[in-house]
Amino acid sequence: MRASKRVRTQNSEVRSKAIGVPDIHISGAEGIYKESEISKISNGYIKRALNHSRGKPDRIVITIEKIKQKPEKIPLLPVTTLRCNSTCESDEIIFRNLSGVGISKTAITNGLKVLKSKKTMRGAALILIKSGLRIEPDRERGVRVSRLGIEKSAKRGLAQRLSKSRINTTAVKEALTLASKVASCPDIVAEICISDDPDYTTGYIASRIFGYLRIPNIKRYGNTTGGRVFFVMEGTEVADIIHYLEDVPALAS
Ligand code: PML
Ligand code: MG
């Protein structure tokens, strides 16, 4: 599901198209489900889009595709919630943990710049771990992680574990599933995510090495900037990474 709002100018909304201003991203969601679940899931997505803290969309697109390829099995990352009281502290946590897995200061700084920029992307930025260069071909759209889900039995176990920490929410489960697919891509070293929802101030960093680390107060309440950055090894084929993230079905367990 993708929900967006057209930018309106003084003259007309058509002007925004003519001058190439992208629509404002409101909400997005993806999943792998059984045919019998389609209508329930689609209704849930529509409700979510229509009642979103980023505003009212004027366009909601739901795409339903039959998955023909057997989904790859990927491990669900372990979840830890860190202590963090401010955006200053969160920056420190991010620099410490990402430097620890070989990501340069320049790359981390560039990643945080993307996430704190007013130009919110609906997909993720790809940044090289050493040079800090951005390599995704479409900087407005970014890379949209798709065709991802979680196996029924793993879902039950996860719900129980998250309930114990009182974080058994759709936001956590969906973000963890996405982060697990991203971390399963061998050419991606780590991810930073800051929600673009103004009322959601917990973000995370994730990697195969340290798992899914939730960071409270990663941004201030009311701030609508955010997004995702994936840190990629130098010398890898960007088209292969995008193909895996966007097209290859993966089920976490
Ligand atoms: C989102 O808003 O889609 C991203 C939420 C990221 C953090 C989820 C969590 O609380 O672990
Ligand atoms: Mg959002």
pLDDT tens, 171-208? 999 999 999 999 999 999 999 999 999 999 999 999 99
Provide mean pLDDT across the span 23-50. 95
- Tens-place pLDDT, residues 53-102: 999 999 999 999 999 999 999 999 999 999 999 999 999 999 999 999 99
Q: What is the pLDDT of residue 21?
A: 57
CA distances from 114 to 3, 119, 146, 163, 239 (A): 21, 8, 21, 33, 21
Sketch the domain layout of the chain as residue ranges: 2-61, 72-252
Do the beta carbons of residue 191 and residue 184 sit within 8 Å?
no
Average pLDDT of the chain? Answer: 94
Q: For ligand 1, is residue 204 a contact (CB within 6 Å)? A: yes
Three-state DSSP at 98 gives: helix
For residue 169, the ligand closest to its alpha carbon is 1
Report helix, strand or coil for 56: coil
Rg of the chain, C-alpha, whole Å: 18
Q: Which two tokens stand for residue 71?
A: 């989904």
pLDDT bracket for residue 9 (50, 70, 90) = low
What's this model's pTM, rounded to 2 decimal places? 0.94
Contact 5, 24 (CB under 8 A): yes
The residue whose CA has the least distance to atom 8 of ligand 1 is 172
Q: What percent of the chain has pLDDT over 90?
A: 89
**What pLDDT, on the 0 to 100 scale, is given for residue 20?**
55
Q: Which residues pair with 143 in a beta bridge?
A: 124
Partners of 191 in the β-ladder: 206, 230
Which of 132, 71, 134, 67 has its CA nearest to residue 102?
Answer: 132
In sequence order, what are the residues at sequence separation of 6 or more whose Cβ sits closer than 8 angstroms to the Cβ of residue 234? Answer: 128, 129, 130, 131
Q: Among 2-11, 43-52, 58-67, 94-103, which stretch is predicted with the lowest mean pLDDT?
A: 2-11
Decide whether any atom of ligand 1 lies within 6 Å of the 110 Cβ.
no
Closest to 171 measured CA to CA, from 56, 57, 52: 52
Inter-residue contact 130 to 236 (CB < 8 Å) = no
Probe target for ligand 1 pocket from 82, 158, 200, with the most ligand atoms within 8 Å of CB: 200
State what percent of residues in the chain have pLDDT above 70. Answer: 94
Torsions phi, psi of 190, nearest 5? -165, 170
The mean per-residue pLDDT over the stretch 43-56 comes to 97
The confidence score (pLDDT) of residue 250 equals: 98
Q: 235 alpha carbon to ligand 2 midpoint, in Å?
A: 31
In ligand 1, the atom with minimum distance to the C-alpha of 81 is: 11
Q: Is the CB of 205 under 6 A from ligand 1?
A: no
DSSP for 167-194 reads ---HHHHHHHHHHHHHHTSTTEEEEEEE
Looking from the CA of residue 204, the nearest atom of ligand 1 is 7
> By mean pLDDT, which of 16-20, 138-142, 161-165 is the weakest?
16-20
What is the arithmetic mean of pLDDT over 2-20?
65
Per this entry, what is the length of the chain?
A: 253
- Residue 166, Ramachandran bin (φ over 0: left; ψ between -120 and 50: alpha; else beta): left
Whether 17 has a pLDDT exceeding 90, the answer reads: no
Give 98-136 pLDDT, tens digit per residue. Answer: 999 999 999 999 999 999 998 888 899 999 999 999 999
As a whole number, mean pLDDT of residues 215-240 equals 97
